Amino acid sequence: MDMHRQTLTELCAGLDKGDFTSVELTQTLLDRVAAQDEKLNAFITVTSTEALAAAASADKARAAGNIGALNGLPIVHKDIFCTEGIKTTCGSKMLDNFISPYNATVVQKMADAGAVILGKSNMDEFAMGSSNETSFFGPVRNPWNLECSPGGSSGGSAASVAARLAPAATGTDTGGSIRQPAALTGTVGLKPTYGRVSRYGMIAFASSLDQAGMITRSAEDAARMLGVMAGFDERDSTSIDQAVPDYLAGIGESIKGLRVGVVRQHSDEGLEERTGARAKDAIAVLESMGATTVEVDLPNIDLSVPTYYVVAPAECSSNLSRFDGVRFGHRAENAEDLLDLYCRSRGEGFGDEVKRRIMTGAYVLSAGYYDAYYIKAQQVRQLIADDFKKAFADVDLIAGPTAPSPAFKLGDKVDDPIQMYLNDIYTIGANLAGLPAMSVPCGFVDDMPVGLHLVGPHFGEEMLLRCGHQYQQETDWHIACPEAFK
């Protein structure tokens, strides 16, 4: 099998057996990026020199018996993670000239485990978007159909993995930004429990919602990466000090007796019929493996989108206030005074969607509207979290569609923010409640992939990964590859 078609787990075994070296593997993937990425625009920065140097170091370490969990394995980082000496843009003109002086904790942990960074992936500006069309560097294209969106905001990460330019990539998920692009590109996307993975060095969008995770081609690969990424970090005040289990240890165990919740509200009119049918087929496969299904009620889940679009903009308006043209980032030229510098630097540096959310956030936090909007949204957020807690008293996990439809054409929703926001209707609830969730490929609609969404209780990643892995032992949707990128 060609190296680029192997999963992270298969590549790890190949390196262990000496079938190839990390330098050979890295060069193969860099060659594919050079040949294929012009069609996709999945990368903002390709770090060829650094990657080959890291691969050579990994080969030397392997020869000396110092083998980390990801030793010599090439990965891609979403361009929201600070990388020392490498440009970190967040997909924005505002940070087009920013080179971070330090590594994010996720980046450092991956490096310590021996991973090789191929580059930084394209993304919606400051992670605000569901289609990867808000990036200052242009839209990313879906490998399954270049006229379609790969989803967002981690669209570059998802496209690079789906097109076999990299075996795995990091991502971030604020309202579905790992899971939705995973569903739309036929990859696996995992958002861990809030606080399970450090947010230090991950440029903030909405601090109570943002969570680092990964996009891979199998649940087993996701388990391998999570074992490296997870853990307490004293530099992150939201990090949770809880032991990290061996996520690979129990992944092969049966799911017989697993109680799977099916949400009554998921059959609403917004769900495309065939997409819903693929999710039902996937749940039927779980039943054939010994799982049982239970209908659960999340009465407030329909309020998740409006709740999110009050809370997230409020937090983003605060987080992005630091980008003022003074300390770092884009600075307007020939400013008349300090106020002019602030206004023009922000006006020139931010795109339309970011401006829209900053203005919305400033509005809902203003003196006359704080109680009516922001406080009310936080109260509804608690109701949504309580609904999940009640549901998990009766079930082990909740399953349904990841997105209401397969990938849409680029440009179809970019002028209609409400329709764009509704693409995350099934994923946002897990962020509001801080729950772990993942998407696994479960079929196709009109030759475009769709995903099965699995949500677990807090720190239920082991169960999600086991369920996803066992499902993938019975199906082969996750090994399907876009024809043009085989």
Query: Which of the residues are catalytic?
Result: 78, 153, 177
- Copy the structure tokens of residue 208: 């109570």
Residue with tokens 């909405």: 206
Residue 465: closest CA among 218, 109, 159: 218
Q: Identify any residues that bridge with 83 across adjacent strands, giving them in sequence order.
A: 86
Whether 260 and 227 have beta carbons less than 8 Å apart is answered as: no
Residue 258: closest CA among 293, 213, 225: 293
Whether 406 and 450 have beta carbons less than 8 Å apart is answered as: yes
Spatial separation of the C-alpha atoms in residues 170 and 190, rounded to whole Å: 10
Spatial separation of the C-alpha atoms in residues 420 and 397, rounded to whole Å: 27
Residue with tokens 């165990």: 253
- Copy the structure tokens of residue 284: 């039927």
Spatial separation of the C-alpha atoms in residues 294 and 245, rounded to whole Å: 28
Spatial separation of the C-alpha atoms in residues 385 and 302, rounded to whole Å: 13
